[in-house]
Amino acid sequence: MQRWSHRRLGRRTLEYGLTFLAAVTINFLLPYLAPGDPLLYVIGPEATELGPAERQAELARYGLDEPLHVQYWDYLTGALRGDLGTSLTYGQPVSEVLLARLPWTLLLVGLALLIAVVLGVVFGATSAWHEGDRTDMGLLTAIVVAMSAPGFWVAMLLIAVFAAWLGWFPSYGLRSGTPGATAFQSAADIVWHLVLPVATLTFVRLGSIYLIARNAVLSTLGEDFLVLSRAKGLSDRAVLYRHAVANSMLPVYTRFTLQVGVAIGGAVVIETVFAYPGIGRVIFEGAIDRDYPLLQGAFLVLTVTVIGANLVADLTYPFIDPRTAADGTEVSR
Amino acid sequence: MGSDGGDGTGGASDDALRISIIIDPGSAMNPYITNNARWDWLVDLVHDKLLFPSPFAGPEPALATDVTQVDDLTWQATIRDGVEWHDGTAFSVEDVAFSLRYYRDGPHSRNAHHANQVPSFEDVSVLDDETVEVETSYPTPTLAEITFADMPVLPEHIFSEVDDPTNYGDLAVGTGPYEIVEYAEGERLRFEATGDWFYGDTVVDEIVAEIIPDPAVTFTALKTGEIDSTVRPVPPETLGDLRGDDEIEVVEATQLQGVELRLNFSKLPFREHEFRWAVSRAIDIQSVVDIVMLGEAIPGTEGFPHPRSPWTAPDLELPHRPAEARAKLDELGYVDRDDDGVRESEDGDPLSFELTVPSNEPQYIRAGEIVADQLGDFGFDITVRTTDPGTVRSFYGRLDAYDMYISSSNFHLAADPDQFLMNHRGGPNLLWNVSPGQGLLGDHDADPEDLAYPEYERLQQAYFDATTKEEMLDIYHELNRLHNSQPVAIPLWYPLDHLAYRPDSYDRWAESPGYGIAHKWSFTEVEDRGDAVTKEFY
């Protein structure tokens, strides 16, 4: 187990706590910072049709007639209890709407990131091992071109080829929901629907992982311990994957943890194109309908995810590379 | 998560009719949440009104078998006997009275202003087991044809028990031909025929509304057979492809939608009636339609509101008059005083404006560029700004936020007289705030007194005083003409609404104005449809 110094743990907790508080505060202030009547952002354009009495009733209903600091405290304590308000679009608690969608986004993003990391590391290590030759140049060119393609374009291309032309995969949705399907058939149906969106997201995310892996492995390949490994007579594969790649993982891991947070928000386009019912779609529809409570909740989820991913990265670095315990903390495994 | 209480995996059978919709309606057909007119056809699968089908066709007897006007202010509706709600509870005259009162007095909804403003219910009373009486605040000769054909009747035994209908998420209970059996958020809604609809027999047993936001994916899914039809009109650039597909039929059926250039009437110089006349006559609307819509639309030169609405004045026009427009701008004192190609007012303010367009509508963006170019030839300096659609929608209540913008209106916003009147009162809404001090005016820079519109107010009062439909229509047509003589909403085009379906899956589609082809009468036996439909496609 890793042992953190109390001072470092306390400092980190305080930093992330303050970041979270800042994010929650900005989220709370959004309707007030935006021009116009805050009620517009809470109940929508119909706020303009209310008479004075109706308006006062709506203000009271949402607590908007309270002083700002009281509203802020209510919002803060509500957020900590998981009460993020009520969605205008769905008429349900925002937390319920988001919780229903989050697993599907995690499934999509998780699968895509996992595949992107595996492929990115394999391609990156292969490129580095063959630095400067045709394999390296071919991979580098292909992946840089691929990572330049916008996600929606890749999605449309895959749909045109694999859904419309070949008919191998569905063009939209999470599942077809065949009546009487067994649990296995339902799971297989979801996987079948996931192929194109996962492939698109993998395609979009692959490039950066590949480049980081390639550079990290390249810088490791010149290290003395690899010369020693070769001198011991280890196979190329063992030298590359057991020693070079294993010692190059820190930047890839950093990238991965950051992408976990960012990718949830970044799935907006993919989820919208594929009509996939995740958090990204909620953000898209919330923006279209100006459903501020829902957007605020979704942003909070994204913020927590990004902060959480950073925290996980921060806490686990010393396991991957003990040198990162920079304050002299002992790290044992 | 599905409102069926399950995990949303309850699926549709293979022979269900799958129709794609564009955006999640947000509820299992609760009219207090699913309250945008774009979902009316879905709500109407489950719910019925007193009269059918809408303010734009019929009226056919529905939950009311007869509606009569007793005097200028009093109407009586005879309620259909033997109808049951989907949960087996008997439908009664009390449900009707409850609904009308609830819309008037209850939480705010899309139907509230049709009960407490235009028109306005003074009193709703139950006379006997089959008769409900409505007394209005002013003569409303179209109460039956418009109001009663617009408001779904709610089950009293459910809504009287609900604290806040805007948060009520259970599967809706109605009297309509279809019962909603599943709502999987973000995925689909599933409806099953009840088999005992009072109006007629349904010929489609199961309807699935698939939520597909992306237009390209929608039409790909139609071509692959994953869906059988869509409420999304076929864009002009896709028409040729779909028309050439043997498995797909494309028909024309109006959804009574329009695309307009809206001018901020609270700001100078758009506040000046004659200035707006000059702007509307400077734009070559036909060329916008030819370029952007490839000619596949009704040009806005036919005026505002929608020219195919049965209520609209038949002689409206918004002609291109470039010479007169230039002369009018000169006459109003807007001339280029510093030879920079841009006209200035007498105070030296240049005619420099921002024209905002939603980023998700490429046709609007192109139209904005063309309008900016055209007005540039008249000495305007127009900057086209693209922004998110939510911001553009928020302009509805934000008079401080824009100069000009391009947006669309659906049938509810622009095709019936009551809503036309509603759009001129009560707030910073689409067309005007007719009466200074009346209701909220939102954020703007104008002195409310500057927004006085006596000509309009006079006609509006006459509208409220009219005791016969003919008299009211004459006044409404006057209002239409007044609007087109100084429009705050310049219509650019009215989509011809090419709608596509796979005839192998289902081919008994029919048009009901405002709904296009997707509505419950399309799924009803042909001989039972009556005047609810205006065109058949088989």
pLDDT digits (tens, 9 = 90+) for B146-164: 999 999 999 999 999 998 8
Average pLDDT, chain A: 83
**The two three-digit tokens of residue B517, written as one number:** 């082809």
Q: Is the pLDDT of residue B416 over 90?
A: no
Contact list, A51 vs chain B (CB under 8 Å): 426, 439
Which is it for strands B17-21 and B206-211: parallel, antiparallel or unpaired? parallel
Cα of A158 to nearest chain B Cα, Å: 11
**Ranges A188-197, A220-229, B460-469: which has the least confidence:** A220-229
What is the C-alpha R_g of chain A? 24
What chain A residue is nearest to B110 in terms of C-alpha separation?
Answer: A46
Instruction: Reduce the DSSP state of residue B515 to 3 states and report it.
Output: coil
Please state the pTM of the whole predicted model: 0.86
Dihedral angle computed from the Cα positions of residues A114, A120, A126 and A128, in that order, rounded to the nearest 10 degrees: -130
**Interchain contact B33–A (C-beta under 8 A):** yes
Give kind and range of the element (H or E) at residue B158. helix B156-159
Nearest Cα residue to B173 out of B156, B149, B151? B156
Cα of B208 to nearest chain A Cα, Å: 11
**Ranges A50-64, B354-368, B467-481: which has the least confidence:** A50-64
Q: How far apart are CA A168 and CA A195, in angstroms?
A: 10
Are B13 and A179 within 8 A, CB to CB?
A: yes
Are B267 and B446 within 8 A, CB to CB?
A: yes
Instruction: Reduce the DSSP state of residue B64 to 3 states and report it.
Output: strand
Q: Is the pLDDT of residue B12 over 60?
A: no
- Give me the DSSP letters along A76-101: HHHHHHT---B-TTTSSBHHHHHHHH
Contact B390 A288 (CB under 8 A): yes
Which is it for strands B489-495 and B297-299: parallel, antiparallel or unpaired? antiparallel
Residue A244 backbone zone (phi > 0: left; psi -120 to 50: alpha; other: beta) = alpha
User: Distance from CA of residue A57 to its chain's centroid?
Assistant: 39
A residues 206-265 closer than 8 Å to B (CB):
none
Interface confidence (ipTM) of the complex: 0.82
Q: Is the pLDDT of residue A74 over 50?
A: yes
Are B134 and B77 within 8 A, CB to CB?
A: yes
Distances (CA, A) of A57 to A162, A328, B98, B159: 54, 59, 22, 20
Q: How far apart are CA B275 and CA B268, in angstroms?
A: 9
Contact A48 B216 (CB under 8 A): no
Per the DSSP assignment, residues forming a β-bridge with B179 are B192
Q: Is the pLDDT of residue A22 over 50?
A: yes
Distances (CA, A) of B73 to B66, B128, B137: 17, 19, 7
pLDDT band per the 50, 70, 90 thresholds, residue A104 = very high
Q: What does the pLDDT average to over A30-54?
A: 65
Average pLDDT, chain B: 89
Q: What does the pLDDT average to over A307-318?
A: 82
Contact A37 B184 (CB under 8 A): no
How many CB atoms lie under 10 A from the CB of residue B439? 20
Per the DSSP assignment, residues forming a β-bridge with B192 are B179, B206
Contact A289 B23 (CB under 8 A): yes
Q: Is the pLDDT of residue B10 over 60?
A: no
How many CB atoms lie under 10 A from the CB of residue B450? 11
| Whole-number pLDDT of residue B448 | 67
Q: Which amino acid is at A23?
A: A
Contact B443 A36 (CB under 8 A): yes
Of A153 and A325, the structure prediction assigns the larger pLDDT to A153
| Whole-number pLDDT of residue B115 | 87
Q: Is the pLDDT of residue B399 over 80?
A: no
User: Distance from CA of residue B349 to its chain's centroid?
Assistant: 37
pLDDT, one tens digit per residue, over A145-201 is: 888 888 889 999 999 999 999 999 999 999 987 667 788 888 999 999 999 999 999
> What is the residue whose two structure tokens read 């007629």?
B200
pLDDT band per the 50, 70, 90 thresholds, residue A59 = confident
| Whole-number pLDDT of residue A37 | 62
Q: Is the pLDDT of residue B405 over 90?
A: yes
Directed axis angle between helix A6-33 and helix A292-320, to 10°?
160
Q: Is the pLDDT of residue B443 over 60?
A: no
Contact A277 B393 (CB under 8 A): no
pLDDT, one tens digit per residue, over A128-154 is: 888 889 999 999 999 988 888 888 899
Best mutation target, B205, B224, B445, to test chain A (most A CBs within 10 A) = B224
Q: How far apart are CA A253 and CA A259, in angstroms?
A: 10
What is the C-alpha R_g of chain B? 24
- Give me the DSSP letters along A289-327: TT-HHHHHHHHHHHHHHHHHHHHHHHHHHHHH-GGG-TT
Of B50 and A223, the structure prediction assigns the larger pLDDT to B50
**The two three-digit tokens of residue A92, written as one number:** 């349900």
| Whole-number pLDDT of residue A53 | 72
Q: How far apart are CA B531 and CA B538, in angstroms?
A: 17
Q: Is the pLDDT of residue B522 over 70?
A: yes
What chain B residue is nearest to A294 in terms of C-alpha separation?
Answer: B26
| pLDDT cut 70: percent of chain B above it | 92
| Whole-number pLDDT of residue A176 | 85
| Whole-number pLDDT of residue B332 | 96
Q: Is the pLDDT of residue B473 over 90?
A: yes
| pLDDT cut 70: percent of chain A above it | 87
pLDDT band per the 50, 70, 90 thresholds, residue A27 = confident
Q: Is the pLDDT of residue A325 over 50?
A: yes
Q: How far apart are CA A140 and CA A128, in angstroms?
A: 10
A residues 163-202 closer than 8 Å to B (CB):
163-164, 167, 170-179, 181, 186
Q: Is the pLDDT of residue B525 over 70?
A: yes
**Ranges A72-76, A119-123, A288-292, B466-470: which has the least confidence:** A288-292
Q: Is the pLDDT of residue A12 over 70?
A: yes
Q: How far apart are CA A277 and CA B227, in angstroms?
A: 18
Of B391 and A98, the structure prediction assigns the larger pLDDT to A98
Task: Name the burial class of residue A183, with classes exposed (0-12), middle (13-18) and buried (19+) by CB atoms within 10 angstroms of its CB.
Answer: exposed
> What is the residue whose two structure tokens read 């899956």?
B505
Spell out the residues 6+ positions from residue A64 whose beta carbon is closer than 8 angstroms to its own.
A38, A39, A42, A58, A71
| Whole-number pLDDT of residue A229 | 81
| Secondary-structure percent of chain A, ordered helix, strand, coil, rounded to 5 | 75, 0, 25
Q: How far apart are CA B382 and CA B373, in angstroms?
A: 8
pLDDT, one tens digit per residue, over B220-263 is: 999 999 999 999 999 888 999 999 999 999 999 888 889 999 99
B residues 454-473 closer than 8 Å to A (CB):
none
| Whole-number pLDDT of residue A324 | 67
| Whole-number pLDDT of residue B3 | 39
| Whole-number pLDDT of residue A217 | 87
Cis peptide upstream of residue B389 (ω within 30 degrees of 0): no
**Ranges A4-13, A110-119, B291-300: which has the least confidence:** A4-13
| Whole-number pLDDT of residue B38 | 82
